[in-house]
Amino acid sequence: MKIQRFRWLLLIVGYAFLLTFAIGTVQAWGAKNDLQVYFVDVEGGQSTLFVTPTGQSLLIDTGWPNNAGRDGDRILAAAKLAGIKKIDYVLLTHYHNDHSGGVPQLVDRIPVGTFIDHGANIDTKPGGATLEVWDAYQKVLATGKYNHIVAKPGDVIPITGMKVTVISSDGNVIDHSLSGGGAENEYCKIPDNKPMDRSENSHSLGVLINFGKLKILDLGDLTWDKEMLFMCPKNLLGNVDILVVSHHGFRPSSSHALVDGIHPRVAIMNNASTKGGNIPVLDTVRQAPGLETLWQLHYSDEGGPEHNTAAEYIANPQGTEQGNYILLTATPKGGFTVFNSGNKQSKNYPAR
């Protein structure tokens, strides 16, 4: 009797081990097939890290210069969470200091394969912050340690695991419809009274990212007049699942033609408490047709309780600057989850 019980015990333990192994294998397989996107908090700049199922990585922008290496450290922390030891591609949308100022501190912390940009800097005021950032970036390229791509509209970035198509670059935009695009855009009829911007912002290198059935749009600080070129009269992009809100939520970007026309399910805003998050943009994004959630890296002091998104969707609440990030994890079938590292809460968005 004792021997029989012992055999049954061994059988049960064996089945439990096999079940645990099988579940672990399925979970690991799922993780290997996911896209990870870290929205790093660089206090009102931009730095977004994509890690594909093939293990390759794309960092869009590097945050601010100086700040005792704060932004470089936060990017490195995101890379460690993602399990990578190298960034294959660094895409600089434009050369303003909140987007490209962190290049020197980044390359001091982690190996980089290739830099991608829109070409020459147009903000050439002597002694200006943009010229300093440009000069520092040129010194990094001059070391000869890195590959360099100047991207043009229509180009596809040679990263594996997702398709990254250049939409805008150096003041120019695509002149043809992408998959799912080409329909008349009814939202072009909504008037937008926005300030003009002829700085580096209007030359931003913007991309549309396809991962399986999922579409993510990141236009850097591209201005509303450039948005109109590919949104009106026809929407050349079609619908988009994830909108990285342009220009941190500043007024010169995010026209109705763009925000309403692409019907995003989710929008993520790289704002700071006192930078970006302007009331008109907060309202435009929150009220966009089909939007399920606006996520913000920071509570906008300008927006106040009436215009900010719900508190659970803000990584760094009012009065805090803790460097909390937002993580998007997506499957090729189009489903995704957004995680707020500030309150450790997440929201699941099933595939459509």
- CATH number of 136's domain: 3.60.15.10
The predicted pLDDT at position 135 comes to: 97
Taking 50 as the pLDDT cut, the residues of the chain under it are: 1-30
As for how many domains the chain has, the answer is 2
- Closest to 41 (Cα-Cα) out of 221, 217, 299, 291: 299
Please provide the distance, in angstroms rounded to a whole number, between the alpha carbons at the two ends of the chain.
Answer: 56
The predicted pLDDT at position 179 comes to: 94
- Give burial (CB, 10 Å; 0-12/13-18/19+) of 125: exposed
Same domain, 49 and 1: no
Same domain, 129 and 17: no
Same domain, 339 and 266: yes
Query: Which SS3 state, helix, strand or coil, does residue 244 take?
Result: strand
Same domain, 10 and 102: no
Residue 39 identity (one-letter amino acid): F
Same domain, 14 and 157: no
Same domain, 215 and 137: yes
- Give burial (CB, 10 Å; 0-12/13-18/19+) of 150: middle
C-alpha distances (whole Å) from 310 to each of 218, 231, 317 are 23, 29, 10
Same domain, 268 and 202: yes
Contact 116, 89 (CB under 8 A): yes
The predicted pLDDT at position 32 comes to: 75
d(CA 21, CA 13): 12
Same domain, 22 and 159: no
The predicted pLDDT at position 5 comes to: 46
Helices (H) and strands (E) in the chain, counts: 9, 20
The predicted pLDDT at position 314 comes to: 98
Same domain, 244 and 112: yes
Same domain, 68 and 4: no
Same domain, 242 and 320: yes
Same domain, 23 and 139: no
What domain range is 8 assigned to? 1-32
